Structures are given as structure tokens and as C-alpha cells.
């Protein structure tokens, strides 16, 4: 089972027409870490979620959604704080721009003393879906505590998922990546994240820094251009993207991450030792599976992540 932690919210899409006196709104469940948990559950893997969750309308829908998608809720902490809302506007290419209604909300209020310890033995990996949760206190301190607690016991993945519209000071994000990256087994980011964090630096140079600092595997996604990976062994690989009709790219990176973790688990490679020793063929197979999965999400509106059947994958054995 995978335990994801981070933000859980609703993405609210605006439908604009000629009448400026109104805005049509369509809300869909989102949040980087919750999307990853959803992706893993839809791929047939045990998936649990750790966060605070509101008792408001949106929080109740989040719980109902997790129940529907078979995401384990035992690590959720109830609160009366409101649910985070992210207003989403899309460019003509379907690329999202976010503005957040976030002050004092549920997923930003997890305290360090609320971190579950010890975790059940069935948890084989912990995923931190960065975004604002890793830089917003007290949740940031709670997530850091969890990662430090588990780094020597379990596979840890980390996706910074930069949201400068929430925390504009990029030095805060750089410091957080420098803090969490060396503690993680896998660090995955997008080229958009890198352009904000390290303008002018090459992807290869950033990946080399990540593995030198302690990550066993670094991956950078490049949208329609595919993805690049580097293992701590020094072996690297890259693959181009898959051509699809893009509706929007919301949730594509989270799909990529979920498929990466799912494949590692199914291949018996969900460990620091395994990914450190990956050869080029191993990395290409991993990237290829994740790219294909992310491409499916791009053909749908919102974070509608694929199931195994959507990817032509056979069902996994029933979980005990």
C-alpha cells in the first residue's frame, strides 16, 4: 500500500461567455498528492491518504470520492476548517493557471504531532505531493517529520509541484527542494518547475545535483517532449512524448508519478537499491509506461486519471 500526503482540494474551472455578469463554475476534486493517490488506486494498488479534511460540503465530497475510489481514509484528520479551492483558467493549449482560496484551510493545518507513528507494516512507500503543502506551516513541518521518520524504512517519492501563485518567494521553494530532495528515494519534477527554480540551468545538471545530494532516482517531465531520468548509478535515459489531442494537462504530472510508482512496485523495484542499479533499458521502460499513462489524462478534462483497462493493462491479483 502507498501512503500519499499533501494537498486535497477542489479545482474550480471557470466557463466564460459574453455575459460578464456571470461566471459558470465546474468543480472537480484535485490536489497533487490526492491525484497521485487516485492514480495508484485506479491502477489497482492499495492507496491511503494523510491530511486534514474539512466537514464542509467540499470535505464531505472528498470523503465520498475517496470511498468511491477505494482510497483508505484511516489517516485523515477531521477539522472544521474550510476546504482549499483552486480557481483554474486554461490557456488555448489547455495549460492550467491557478489562483487559490487557501488561507487557514484544512490541508494547510496538519500539526507535526498529528503525524502517524508508527506506520502499519502494509505501507510500502510514502509519496509527498509537494505543491503548497510542503511550504505552508504547520503542514510543511508535519510532512518533513513524516519523511525523516520513514526515509530509512520505506521508499519515499517527492514531487515539488511549484505553485508560486501561493508562495511567490522562490527561495522558499528552493530551500524546500534542497531539504526534502536528499531525503527522498525518487524526486520527480516538471521542466516548468525547473524553469522557476533554476532558470538557465539544464535538466541534466539539475538531475545530477539531485542524485549527488542523495536521491536514488531523478526524473524531469517535459510535457509533449517526454521525460528524462537519471539514476544514482550515473545511468540516464530519455524518451519523447506521445502525440494526443490535448483537452487539458491537469493531473498529467500526477498520473506520470502514479504510474512510475505502480510500475516500480509491480516490477519488484520499489527500493533504493533497485532503482540505484537501473540500467538504461530499465529507465526507458519506466519512462515509457508513465508517459503513456499521462497522455491519457491529457485527453480528458480535469484530473481524470486512467484505470488499468484504459492502458491495456491486465488486472492485478486481488489484494488480501
Q: Is the pLDDT of residue 100 over 90?
A: no
Homologous superfamily of the 2-311 domain (CATH): Ribokinase (3.40.1190.20)
pTM of this prediction? 0.92
Instruction: Say yes or no to pLDDT of 182 above 90.
Output: yes
Are the C-beta atoms of residues 35 and 159 closer than 8 Å to each other?
no
> In the chain, what are the domain boundaries?
2-311
3 state DSSP class of 111: coil
Contact indicator for 143, 128 with CB cutoff of 8 Å: yes
Residues in the chain: 320
pLDDT of residue 89 exceeding 80, the answer is no
Burial group, residue 268, by CB count within 10 angstroms (0-12, 13-18, 19+): exposed
Position 225 scores a pLDDT of 95
For residue range 185-210, list pLDDT tens digits in order. Answer: 999 999 999 999 999 999 999 999 99
Cβ contact 256:229 at 8 Å = no
Contacts of 58 (CB under 8 A, 6+ apart): 9, 10, 27, 82, 83, 85
Amino acid at each position: 500500500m502507498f501512503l500519499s500526503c499533501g494537498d486535497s482540494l477542489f479545482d474550480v474551472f471557470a466557463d466564460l461567455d459574453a455575459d460578464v455578469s456571470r461566471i459558470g463554475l465546474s468543480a472537480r476534486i484535485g490536489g497533487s498528492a490526492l491525484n497521485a493517490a487516485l492514480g495508484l488506486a485506479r491502477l489497482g494498488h492499495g492507496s491511503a491518504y494523510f491530511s486534514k479534511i474539512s466537514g464542509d460540503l467540499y470535505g464531505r465530497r472528498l470523503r465520498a470520492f475517496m470511498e468511491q475510489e477505494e482510497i483508505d481514509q484511516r489517516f485523515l484528520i477531521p477539522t472544521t476548517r474550510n476546504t482549499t479551492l483552486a480557481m483554474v483558467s486554461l490557456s488555448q493549449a489547455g495549460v492550467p493557471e491557478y489562483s487559490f482560496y487557501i488561507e487557514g484551510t484544512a490541508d494547510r493545518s496538519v500539526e507535526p504531532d498529528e503525524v502517524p507513528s508508527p506506520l502499519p507494516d502494509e505501507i510500502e512507500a510514502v509519496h509527498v505531493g509537494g505543491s503548497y503543502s510542503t511550504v505552508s506551516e504547520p503542514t510543511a513541518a508535519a510532512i518533513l517529520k513524516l519523511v525523516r521518520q520513514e526515509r530509512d524504512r520505506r521508499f519515499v517519492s517527492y514531487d515539488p509541484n511549484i505553485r508560486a501563485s501561493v508562495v511567490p518567494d522562490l527561495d522558499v521553494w528552493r530551500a524546500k527542494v534542497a531539504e526534502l530532495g536528499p531525503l527522498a528515494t525518487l524526486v520527480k519534477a516538471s521542466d516548468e518547475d525547473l524553469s522557476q527554480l533554476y532558470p538557465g540551468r539544464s535538466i541534466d545538471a539539475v538531475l545530477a545535483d539531485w542524485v549527488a545530494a542523495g536521491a536514488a532516482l531523478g526524473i524531469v517531465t517535459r510535457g509533449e517532449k517526454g521525460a528524462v531520468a537519471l539514476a544514482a548509478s550515473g545511468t540516464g535515459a530519455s524518451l519523447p512524448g506521445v502525440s494526443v489531442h490535448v483537452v487539458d494537462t491537469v493531473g498529467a504530472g500526477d498520473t506520470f508519478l502514479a504510474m512510475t510508482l505502480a510500475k516500480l512496485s509491480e516490477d519488484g523495484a520499489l527500493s533504493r537499491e533497485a532503482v540505484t542499479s537501473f540500467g538504461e533499458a530499465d529507465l526507458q521502460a519506466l519512462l515509457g509506461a508513465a508517459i503513456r499513462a499521462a497522455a491519457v489524462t491529457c485527453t480528458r478534462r480535469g484530473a481524470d486519471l486512467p484505470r488499468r483497462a484504459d492502458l491495456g493493462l491486465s488486472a492485478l491479483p486481488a489484494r488480501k
